[in-house]
Structure formats: C-alpha cells, structure tokens
Amino acid sequence: MHVGVRVPRRTVIVTSATHDDGMQAVAVLTSGGLDSAVLAADLLRDGHPVQPMYLRFGLAWEATEEAHLRRFLASLDSPELRPLVVIDVPIARLYDAHWSVSGVGVPDDRTEDEAVYLPGRNLLLLVQPAVWCALHDIHTIALGTLKGNPFSDSTREFFDQFAALAERAMGHDFDILTPYADLTKTEVLERGRGFALEHTFSCIDPRDGHHCGRCNKCAERRGAFIASSVEDATVYASR
C-alpha cells in the first residue's frame, strides 16, 4: 500500500502557489536521479502541485542529466506538474580542477561513497531556489536525501538551520523537506515502481548520452535495482 509524502499544513491564503483544493505547491530540487525524480512523482501522486527545479552548475555530466530529467518529467503527464525551472549557478571558478568539473579522475565502482562528495553541494542547491520560492510565494522545498547520507550538509540540523536563515533574510517562512531520509535507495525504487525509471539518471561519467556503467553512482544504482524486485531498463555503456 502506498504511503503518502507528508507536507506541512499551513493556514491557506489563496495565491498563485495554491491549488484550487488548497494544496500548497512544493518546489522539488530535481537532479534527474532516482531519488529526486521519484520524490517529484510521489508528491504528484499524492495530489500536490509540484514545481521541479534544476540547478546547472557546469558539472561534467549535466547535459545528459538534464536531458534525462526532461524526459522523465514529460512521462509524468500530470496537470499538477509545473514547467521545469532551471537556474544557472556556475561553479567552475570555485571548484577549479575538481573531478566533477574536469571529468578527470571520476570515482569508480571501487571507491567509497565519500569520494563523490561535492563541497557545499546542498548549500549551493538551496540558496537561489530559496530566493526564487520567496518571490513566487512557495514555502516548501523538498530534496531526495536518503538514509545513511554521510555528509554534514544533509542532516536535519543543517536543513532546519538553513530554513531559519532564509526566513530571517527574506521574511518568508520555509520548510525544507527530506521525506526519504529514513529510506534506502532500494526502498525508494519500490516507491517508484510503475514510473519511467529508465529516464532517471545517476551517472557522473556518461558515455554517448548513457550511463557509463563503471562509476561510483552507476554501481550504486545497479546495486539498488538488483536488491529490489524492480526491473532495470537503464542503458549502460558498459556492463
């Protein structure tokens, strides 16, 4: 049985961010990966208007990732799904020769998860979307953070402190939701059963528009499919 994603209830004042039935819109930070894509679909299934947002940082895999994301969103075909908002946040000057920008030394399937850490990732992900949401009267931002995420910018404390800081800066109250924080990727896959998961994208070293099949994130993705009973229709350049 499907269990819905809980979104905080507010005193409803009808605005452009409110559906006719009083449901508040949720901005979902969508990378196109399994977790954020299923989260967007999950919220739509529960009747929430969803505002997908994608941040272009200038990372090596983003052109392929964004193309997959657009295909996945198109597959949802829901009147509650709003057009994708894309925000450019170039970070090449910050990251310099980091593997995520250069594509050199990409963590492979033998590396630990800590090797794929992107410095300040969630801080960068949240700042400009928070400003956009304040200007468009959206109070809830959701991310697909999973159980066991080892990074300090993925904790409940971090998200609560960020929401408080954004509210102080703009006078606009926020909830930062991480509905999958107690779920593994395999459990998220089970929630995504029936959606076009082949259009999600998890790779950090794509080949000709497809998953490479060899990087750390491809290994994580394939492992989750193997552990679940969900068919993996992903095209991998290498098996």
Q: What is the pLDDT of residues 142-181, one digit of tens each?
A: 999 999 888 889 999 999 999 999 999 999 999 999 999 9
pLDDT of residue 1: 47
How many C-beta neighbours within 10 Å does residue 32 have?
24
Give the C-alpha separation, 209 to 206, whole Å.
6
CA 224 to mean position of chain CA atoms? 17
Q: How do the domains of the chain map onto residue ranges?
A: 26-227
Ramachandran category for residue 105: left, alpha or beta (phi over 0 → left; psi -120 to 50 → alpha)? left
How many C-beta neighbours within 10 Å does residue 152 have?
10
The domain defined by 26-227 folds into Rossmann fold (3.40.50)
Give, as one character, the DSSP assignment of residue 177.
E
If you average pLDDT over every residue of the chain, what do you get? Answer: 90
In this prediction, residues 81-106 reach a mean pLDDT of 93
- Report the candidate in 204, 214, 188 with the shortest Cα–Cα distance to residue 39: 188
pLDDT of residue 203: 96
pTM, two decimals, is 0.88
- Report the candidate in 60, 64, 33 with the shortest Cα–Cα distance to residue 52: 33
In this prediction, residues 1-9 reach a mean pLDDT of 63
